[in-house]
Structures are given as C-alpha cells and as structure tokens.
Amino acid sequence: MHFIECSYERHAAQILAVFNDAILNSTALYDYKARTMENMETWFQAKAAGHYPVIGIESPEGDLMGFASYGPFRNYPANKYTLEHSVYIAAPYRGQGLAMKLMKRLIELASENNYHTLIGSIDARNQASIQLHEKLGFTHAGTIKHAGFKFGEWLDLAFYQLILPTPENPVDG
C-alpha cells in the first residue's frame, strides 16, 4: 500500500464506482442518482482548478482501495482558510484502517497548504465516520436536523471540525 495522487485518466472509473456505491446503498452521499463519467470529469477539473488534492491508496494489484480529497467550504472569500473534506473506501477494503491513513495525510496536506479548519459533513447515523473523526481530534460543531430526505427517512447532518495551527499570518481580502 502506498499513497498516490489520483488522476482522471487512471482513477476516475474506480472513484465513480465508489461514489455510486455510496449513493445507491448508503446515506454517505445525499445524492439520489448514480453519477456519470461526465460528472467525474467536472469533479477532477474543479479539484485541479482549486489546487485541491485527490489522494488514494492502491493495492499491490493497482486497485484503488480508497481515496480522499478536500475542497471549499462555502464559497465566500472569508472562508478561504476553511475546507470540507471527504474520504471513501471501496467496499472490499473497509475495516482495514485505510480511512485513518488517508485522513492523516489529508490533514498534513491541509496544514502544508496553510488552511486552518477542516469540516466533515457526516450523516448523523454514520457512527464509523464519526468515530474516525473523533479519533483524529475533530469535534462536533453542530447538527442540522432533517437536512436531507433519502430512502424514505429524514436525515440529520452532523458537522465535525478540526482546527489546524496554520496559517501563521492569516490575512483579510
């Protein structure tokens, strides 16, 4: 296992499969419909335009076991030091500590790039993700009740945040 920088050409189809599994079989994503390769092209373009990493872990056979990324949290200038992140593990590889490894690396990258706050938006019933974030030092910052409706149920969205010691000299504007 090793970290890799994911690319559209090599990883889009594998990331798409993980996203679609989450959409169709869980409340990890509040989408209803499976995404397409066109969605992935736009997604990778947005990551590249914002200089946001898409990191992954591959198996020795070259399978993408999981990936993580971050992007803007609320697209207002004053939120420039705040990120919303995501981490997903392909079903056959869950329970092996990969999400922890990916998240630790994502936190390092956020610090290296002088961000200050990481936000995880987690379905309130996703105890595995909540526990992962708490182990990494994230704290509960609030829950929006009935933020979504999927699979015939109202879903509560919990926010977890991690404050980083960076940047040393934040500036307005």
pLDDT in tens, 85-142: 999 999 999 999 999 999 999 999 999 999 999 999 999 999 999 999 999 999 999 9
Taking Cα atoms as reference points, which of 151, 65, 52 lies closest to residue 100? 65
Beta strand 117-123 pairing with 82-89: parallel
Mean pLDDT to the nearest integer, 12-30: 97
Please report the pLDDT score of residue 2 as a whole number: 80
pLDDT reading at 164 higher than 80: yes
Please report the pLDDT score of residue 151 as a whole number: 98
pLDDT reading at 35 higher than 90: yes
Of the pLDDT bands very low, low, confident and very high (cuts 50, 70, 90), residue 71 is: very high
Please report the pLDDT score of residue 11 as a whole number: 96
Close Cβ partners of 81 (under 8 Å, ≥ 6 residues apart):
114, 115, 116, 117, 167, 170
User: Could you give the CA distance from residue 53 to residue 55 in angstroms, rounded to a whole number?
Assistant: 6
pLDDT > 70 in the chain, percent: 99
Mean pLDDT to the nearest integer, 76-89: 97
Amino acid, single-letter form, for residue 162:
L
User: Residue 3: which H helix or E strand, with range?
Assistant: strand 2-5
Number of other CB atoms surrounding residue 80 within 10 Å:
18
Close Cβ partners of 62 (under 8 Å, ≥ 6 residues apart):
none
Half-sphere CA count of 84, side-chain side, radius 13 A: 9
Please report the pLDDT score of residue 173 as a whole number: 84
Residue 148, token pair as written in the block: 């979504």
Beta bridge pairs of residue 2: 58
Phi-psi region of 146 (alpha: psi -120 to 50; beta: other; left: phi over 0): left
pLDDT reading at 1 higher than 90: no
Domains, the chain, in order of start with CATH, read 2-163 (3.40.630.30)
pTM of the predicted protein model: 0.95
Phi-psi region of 67 (alpha: psi -120 to 50; beta: other; left: phi over 0): beta
Please report the pLDDT score of residue 24 as a whole number: 97
Taking Cα atoms as reference points, which of 14, 17, 35, 27 lies closest to residue 121? 27
113 secondary structure, DSSP code: T
